[in-house]
Structure 1
């Protein structure tokens, strides 16, 4: 069973020479990919991100790496080469590209803002063309495979083939890769030096449940809504309005949803009158014995999905969300409540990243 306190790497999983590999994590965010690759024995050289707010978190956990706060559109490969003193055509170099994905996501509230993210894969491609690293990893939303977005992916695949890369991609369910969460992700692995790409083997396991990762029995304290712990800020939870407190108290434990109070005129939400099939997960509780729903950037808000604790009358704490993302319990997050929840929700689950790294090492 996977230990939720800290995911360890056994000696037989990291082969001799693994430390020769090194990675540059583009669009690194809080460092989920960097965390997983580091756990697998790969040296993390740097994380690159336009968001300054990620810097403190990234450097707190990757002390030997650099954080490069640059807009990838303006940043130049030659500058990166000077900043990190890295060579071109290095077989041991890995480039990771997990670009923001609003344009390809099902959740797309701002089309103008999201259109900016549509071209980031092309900008990542500029760095690949200049450096020609030994390996490439791309992680994104499954929407990248939709017909309207196919030209972006097909252009990228053609570019890889033309430049001598062998590549494979798939839609991966995170609960088949050690993450207790229903989350489908597009994953691409490419190599210039290998003839065969090996994806990590999926595991269909019954222990990928909320119960096996969080709860009092796992060392998580019982907390009230609106808790702000000065000694451990990660035990913080979002506050609730009096009406939302009533809603949650009426929601049955272990998977209950808003149907429990839909006929209460004081609690029912006007937009959902006679629309029981609309967004039933809103204000819903997680199930103990199922994977969590996708941990989004707003997982601390009970009104934004099924993010209510299975039995306590509150939303998830920051640390609970991070643990369901498979961040180690000693991973340090810097910032306020909203900033940290965004960092956690945007991250690639480290355990999935670790398994991708091991597949490259092997």
Structure 2
């Protein structure tokens, strides 16, 4: 099945398709140079066009090839409920370029991924416009919110998945493979699904390092199936498991954040005066991570403090929580790599969707 991968980032979707098998990516496109380099390092067989989507000539690129699926999620910052949500942001209008891609490639099916905030942007009018525009091309369009944690990703990450299909094609959204631990304690739970993978289960074999330190050796053999999956083709030495240094003032704050705590839980004498309510948040060891963002190394920005170490997450820990395997290579500075990871589609979520695409088009 021939795929066009738009807003491809570092290849979260492409890696998920590769795991599902049966897909051929004709080309991928993104405007960020570092992300394109990361994509190329991991999938050198795919042609990557590093340019604004507005400059991509789809008809020329595909020639006489048939396109089965167009995939992609425009940058989400304009829609995110944690951002300013400005309609004037040009990124909020990139769905129009996605529409142009559909017009020029005429795929059997498309998948459009974005943050849940897309549903409520401009009081829902933007999402209505997106659906109307895509449906005008003859697609049956539906949307559903999926939580990555329900599909084996150790992270609570809700995303809107908009799917459009031509007449005669039936697509069914993937059914969860995991369930919240809270639900396993209810009478409605039949015991057929395992609990969500926790942060501890995801990164427990990575060495506990202090702020400013780097770890190169695993602390143990794989302890569970998730760790085995992440380490299938792992290099002998860990990559990108380097903790940022924090100043003494920030270290005093971090040391006083309890597990699962946020700014309000810090004793008043150490509590920062500025910051959002969820700033300086520490994660839980026995729960999935909260949504990983580009600021996974910045304690003052989001809930990203390691549950047991007094520091922010490392790049490799962030990658694990997004379900990128340990042999996945990231290009650029630490902040650029963290941005790439935070903006990515978790490969395991992409794989679950890809398996349903195969069923729909078979």
For this structure pair, what is the TM-score category when the shorter chain's length is used for normalisation? 0.7 to 0.9
Structure-2 change in CA distance of 1:251 and 1:152 (3 Å): closer
Distance in 1 (CA, whole Å) between partners of 2:25 and 2:307 is 37
Match of residue 272 from structure 2: 269
**Unmatched runs of 5 consecutive residues or more in structure 1:** 1-20, 273-277
What is aligned with 2:231?
none
Structure 1 distance, partners of 2:77, 2:156, is 19
Aligned pairs for 1:88-237 within 5 A: 90=66, 93-109=68-84, 111=86, 115-146=89-120, 148=122, 150-192=124-166, 194-203=168-177, 204-205=179-180, 206-215=195-204, 219-228=205-214, 232-237=238-243
Moved more, 234-243 or 138-147: 138-147
Match of 2:13 in 1: 33
Structure-2 separation of matches of 1:78 and 1:149:
35
For residues 131 and 45 of structure 1, the distance between their equivalents in structure 2, rounded to whole angstroms, comes to 11
Counterpart-to-counterpart distance in 2, 1:271 and 1:51: 31
- Listed as ranges, the gaps of 5+ residues in structure 2 are 181-194, 217-236
CA 1:128–1:147: 2 relative to 1, 3 Å: same
1:231-270 pair list within 5 angstroms: 232-252=238-258, 254-264=259-269, 267-270=270-273
Tell me, yes or no, if the aligned pair for 1:179 and 1:351 is still in contact at 8 Å.
Answer: yes
Q: Distance in 2 between matches of 1:306 and 1:153?
A: 28
Structure 2 equivalent of residue 18 of structure 1:
none
Q: CA deviation at 1:24?
A: 1.5
Measured in 1, the distance between the counterparts of 2:248 and 2:121 equals 45
> How far does the alpha carbon of each residue in 1:15-73 deviate from its partner, in whole angstroms, 9 at most, with x for none?
xxxxxx12221011111111111111122232201111112210111121011011112
Separation of aligned partners in 2, 1:152 and 1:256: 35
Q: Any conservation in 2 of the 1:25–1:95 contact (CA below 8 Å)?
A: yes
8 Å CA contact 2:140–2:165 kept in 1: the answer is yes
Structure 1 position 296 matched with structure 2 position 293: yes
Selected match of 1:343 from 335, 340, 345:
340
Contact persistence 1:166–1:197 (CA under 8 A): no
- Alignment map for 1:50-89 (pairs within 5 Å): 50-81=31-62, 85=63, 87=65
Structure-2 change in CA distance of 1:315 and 1:132 (3 Å): same
1:282: Cα distance to partner? 2.0
Aligned residues: 323
Secondary structure at the aligned position of 2:34 is classed as helix
Match of 2:307 in 1: 310
Cα offset, 1:335, TM superposition: 1.1
Contact 2:113–2:160 (CA<8 Å) still a contact in 1? yes
Is residue 38–residue 44 contact of structure 1 (8 Å, CA) maintained in 2? no
Query: In 2 relative to 1, CA 306–160 (structure 1 residues): closer, same or farther, beyond 3 Å?
Result: closer
Range with greater deviation from structure 2 (226-235 or 293-302): 226-235
Structure 2 residue matching 1:95: 3-state secondary structure: strand
Within 2, Cα distance between the matches of 1:79 and 1:226?
Answer: 49
